[in-house]
Amino acid sequence: MPGNRIGGEIVGVEVFTSLNPCHPSQVLGRFPDSGPSEVDDAVNAAADAQLTWVRVPTPARAQTIAAAGELLASRKAELAQLVSREVGKVGSEAGGDVQEAIDMAAFVAGQGRTAWGTVHPSELPDKITYTTRHPVGVCGLITPWNFPVAIPSWKVFPALLAGNGVVLKPSELAPACADAFVQILWDAGVPPGLVNIVHGHRDAGEALVTHPGVRAVSFTGSVTTGRRVAAAAAETGPKLVSLELGGKNAMIVMPDADLDLVTDGVVFGAFGTSGQRCTSTSRLVVHSDVADEVIARIAGRASELRLGDPVDPSTDVGPVIDSGAARRIHAYVEGAIGDGADVVCGGRITGVEGCGGDFYEPTVLRGVRPDHRIACEEVFGPVLAVIEVASLHEAVDVVNASEFGLSAAVYTRDINAALHAVARIDTGIVYVNAPTIGAEIQMPFGGTKHTGNGFREAGLRGIEQFSETKTVYIDHSGRLQKAQIDTHEPARSAAERPLRQQV
């Protein structure tokens, strides 16, 4: 039975529904529309459970996380099917979403026996100096709909390993997947009350961000909402606030690039998940010498992609998340046409026989300038804006002109050019001869500028957003020693020194 999961119990009155975006008449579950009262209960439950959890040795915490990963693996097929039905991902992408959570559990569990800090030499004798990580207490986690299992795992597992309690507020567009994920954690032996889930809309999110008992907030979503989260959290601090926001990711294509590889990369990067990824390839910054051929290749492949029910193995592109998203995407395309861009292919909201949801045709726009709105704002749909340039230097300038800085790619056979681009591009992630999507969990994930606020998820740094550094000094000399006290006499001239010292 779906509902809020608080203190090891399922509670709440079912109010809003989760719908299948491909078949909107299909209800996948009904969930509570929570507010401050429910959030308060969840935070208190997490705080109580954390007092015991923090005393569990870190390797033992890791064993619980590893058990969750094993259970995720055993239920991968059914969970991936739910991902397809709730957010419209085709089978391979839905399976990849769940596999990320499985891999994240294994990776984080492995960190339970790795270094938890650093040891440094002291400037004084008989003194030990080192650092360690210290849990913050209760972590409030707010996750988006487009990676409904992977992103919760990116946040929950490191938070648990660090010794914290958790309250998860998933997107109201994907509550069933988050509910299933937390159920698996419970089944794997996560202690009651340690991981709680509170469903709802803006009221639930705001209550979680501003709750005085929440010491760390991790948010993935839009720039606009992220700014509100940061401001609201600051009013009820102290809190660690990590933000993973939007992207306007670009792929540079130079004349010497492997154009077959370019085409494969663009089709996957721009139209996979119907373009509904923060790392989707949204801008193609292509050298004018090969622009005609590259655009023709991409448009030809895009026109052949099969739209349909994501549970059908023959489907290449599933629906967008809802009708509002389809209208928003189309408004961007119409705005680009008004700015002077040409539609090479796509450019329409469409339907698919047997499906009641909204689909958007994979779209290629040519004649886009760097200052056009379509080149500056996140569309979050299967729309590729093509910008032509005359040099690598100009291409990098176009990439860096965006207020976002998540992911970028450069395609070239010239290793010197590739490394020059890697050094100059101002994004958190750079790919060479690969599209802008495809993060690996052992690597830090995050961006620069308006994409984030400096924290990184995943990788060895993933735990930093859920813990604080504690510096430790142990003096075993048995006497008072003063660090950073000047014990040296000032330098004196020869005339000032005693005669015996001068001789």
Q: Report the distance separating Cα 166 and Cα 120, nearest Å.
A: 32
The contacts of residue 133 (CB under 8 Å, 6+ apart) are 116, 117, 162, 463, 467, 468, 469, 470
The contacts of residue 498 (CB under 8 Å, 6+ apart) are none
Q: Could you tell me the two tokens for 376? A: 């500056």
Residue type at 67? Answer: A
Q: What is the DSSP string of 69-130?
A: HHHHHHTHHHHHHHHHHHH---HHHHHHHHHHHHHHHHHHHHHTTS--S-EE--SSTTEEEE
Q: Could you tell me the two tokens for 147? A: 């990676």
| Inter-axis angle of helices 150-161 and 175-187, nearest 10 | 40
CA angle 331, 448, 326 (to 5 degrees): 20
Sheet containing 363-366: which strands, arranged edge to edge?
342-345, 363-366, 383-389, 281-287, 249-253, 407-411, 429-432
CA angle 469, 471, 474 (to 5 degrees): 155
Find where tokens 């340039």 sit: 389
Active site residue 376: no
Q: What is each CA distance from 136 to 116, 219, 469, in whole angstroms?
A: 15, 16, 10
- CA 299, distance to chain mean position in Å, is 29
Under 8 Å between Cβ of 424 and 401? no
Burial 275-309 (b: 16+ CB within 10 A, else e): bbbbbbbbbbbbbeebbeebbebbbebbeebebbb
Choosing from 244, 361, 388, 457, the catalytic residue is 244
Active site residue 278: yes
Residue type at 502? Answer: Q
Q: Could you tell me the two tokens for 211? A: 């709750």
Q: Could you tell me the two tokens for 356? A: 């009641």
Choosing from 278, 361, 378, 457, the catalytic residue is 278
- Measured torsion, CA atoms of residues 201, 202, 205, 208, in degrees rounded to the nearest 10: -110
| C-alpha neighbours within 13 Å on the C-beta side of residue 56 | 23
Question: What residues act catalytically?
Answer: 244, 278
